[in-house]
Amino acid sequence: MSENFLCDKMTDTEVTSVSAASLAYLGDCVLEIMVRERLVRLGVKNPSVESLEYVTAPNQSDALERILPLLTETEEDFYKRGRNCVHSGVPRHATPAQYRRATGLETLFGYLYLTCQTCRIRELFSAAFPN
C-alpha cells in the first residue's frame, strides 16, 4: 500500500512528463490542505483570514527561501521547473520574482504528492512555515 492513500505513486520519470503548470496546480491544492489542517488543529477561529499568512505569493516565496537549502537535487530540479515555466499573469500584491518562486514551491509539492512522499511534504511544510 502506498504511503498516501489518495495517490497512486508515480515514478520520477513519469512525473517528469507532467507539465510544470499541472504540477503547480496540484501542489497548490496540497499546500491548501496542509494549511487548512494546521489551522484546524490549532483551533483557529477565523481560518480563512489566517490562511492568507500561507497562501499568498509573497509568503510562499519567503517559505521557499527557508527550505531551499534542505532540498535534494531532484526536488530542486522540480522547483526550478515550476519557477521557470511561463507565467501568464502576476497578482497585484506580488512581484514577478515572488510569483515565480511561489509557483516553483507549488510545483515541488505537486511532485512530492504524485510520488507519494507524504512524510517529506510534512517535513518541508513545517520547515517552510514554522509555527
Q: What band does 2 get if pLDDT is binned at 50, 70 and 90?
A: very low
More confident residue, 88 or 123: 123
| Section 117-127 average pLDDT | 97
User: In this structure, what C-alpha cell is assigned to residue 94?
Assistant: 506580488
Res. 1: pLDDT tops 60: no
- The catalytic site residues sit at 28
* 73-119 tens-digit pLDDT: 999 999 999 999 876 777 788 898 999 999 999 999 999 999 999 99
Closest CA to 105 of 31, 7, 17, 12: 31
Closest CA to 20 of 94, 76, 83: 83
Q: Where do the domains of the chain lie, and which CATH numbers do they carry? A: 12-128 (1.10.1520.10)
User: In this structure, what C-alpha cell is assigned to residue 61?
Assistant: 516565496
* 37-48 tens-digit pLDDT: 999 999 999 888
